[in-house]
Amino acid sequence: MTDSVLNSKRNQQVLAEIVRAYVTTGEPVSSRAISKSHAEQLSSASIRNVMADLEDAGLLFQPHTSAGRVPTAAAYRFFAQQIAAQAKLNDEDKNWIRKELEGATTVEELTERAGHMLAAVSRGLGIIVMPPLAHSVLEHVRFLLLPDGRVVVVLISLGGATRDKVLRPDHEFTQPELDRTADYLNRHYNGWTLEAIRADLLAKLASDKERYGKLLPVALELCDPALLDADRSREVYVEGAAQFASAPELTGAESLRELLSAIEEKSRLVALLNGCIEAPEPVHVQIGVKEINGAGEHLSLITAPYMVRDQGQGSLGVLGPMRMQYERAITAVAYMARAFSEAISRG
């Protein structure tokens, strides 16, 4: 039924205008309001007929008899996939995003600014998920020996972001051994991912064990992504929680508390945004996000992957109320993914 109703170009246009009007005002939309704005100048009676058909198809509902219509999740889904996906980001937003990202001097500041901008365009949360450690592009490695034999592995990613991990290796090392290993890695593997470094080390060791037999096993043991990622595979940054919590659509105190608690865990957000990396479309739109919790059915998620020097892959996006400015949010997420990739790759 939904597909047949939306075969009509007129019905598509009317539905798009209703979604835009409701997103702007938050009030049920009347046939009179649409007839005034519709390009064909249709009568209120004609618009009412179209709205009735859209309601029968499950795309609109009427809160009460005397009210106008409100879009359903199916209407938002159609709008996001068929209308907003064809939109273009305005020059003002492009310049704003470029200027903000170019002004950042560290990866942390870059990420914070990107998160703030994503939150602003969605009236919700701006989310940045960094690549897993195995896929992070590295600039520098250090190994520090502790008195009890444990080793601190310090990995400095592109742009200066630092991650460290304390390991208890199977073998005992001296600090000079660790220094020689770090020096070798820094001279030969600057700009490589940890995963690529490990693969190359294994290949070298297999081809010339006599030459590399003493040095490379140390590097392999201390640069094992499985060990380094054992307790946190990805970093996630979330901005905009205050405005998200004040959204009218989330007025139910109990459901809001549950939703914010679920978001605080962040692991669910990481799982959601990780999924977008494998999605076939450049920008993934999900209307209704029940994976978070029950209140998530009133939310929308828009995500896109980004690259770091064509290697490490992370994701970014917005999580906000279903009543969202999809044309702006979708185009901003797509543009942000490209601009963020360029900025973080420049370091």
| Right CATH for 87-131+234-346 from 1.20.1440.230, 3.20.20.140, 3.30.450.40, 3.40.50.720 | 3.30.450.40
Over the stretch 112-157, which tens digit does the pLDDT of each residue have? 999 999 999 988 899 998 877 777 788 889 999 999 989 888 888 7
Dihedral sign computed on CA atoms, order 173, 178, 181, 182: positive
| Right CATH for 2-85 from 3.40.50.1000, 3.40.50.150, 3.40.950.10, 1.10.10.10 | 1.10.10.10
Give residue 128's region: left, alpha or beta (phi > 0; psi -120 to 50). Answer: beta
Counting every residue written for the chain, the total comes to: 347
How far apart are alpha carbons 237 and 128 in whole angstroms?
5
Compute the chain's Rg from CA coordinates. Answer: 25
Q: How many CA atoms lie within 13 A of 185 on its CB side?
A: 33
Where do the DSSP E strands lie in 50-206?
60-61, 70-71, 125-129, 138-145, 151-157, 162-167
Q: Which two tokens stand for residue 305?
A: 């992957």
Which residue ranges make up each domain of the chain? 2-85, 87-131+234-346, 137-228
CATH no., domain 137-228: 3.30.390
Q: For the chain, which ranges sit under pLDDT 50?
A: 230-231
**In this structure, are residues 121 and 319 in contact, taking their beta carbons and an 8 Å threshold?**
no
How far apart are alpha carbons 292 and 286 in whole angstroms?
12
Over the stretch 3-44, which tens digit does the pLDDT of each residue have? 788 888 889 999 999 999 999 998 999 888 888 776 566 777
**In this structure, are residues 113 and 104 in contact, taking their beta carbons and an 8 Å threshold?**
yes
pLDDT at residue number 231: 46
Maximum distance among all Cα pairs of the chain, rounded to whole angstroms? 87
pLDDT at residue number 91: 95
For residue 234, the Cα-to-chain-centroid distance in whole angstroms is: 12
For residue 83, the Cα-to-chain-centroid distance in whole angstroms is: 21
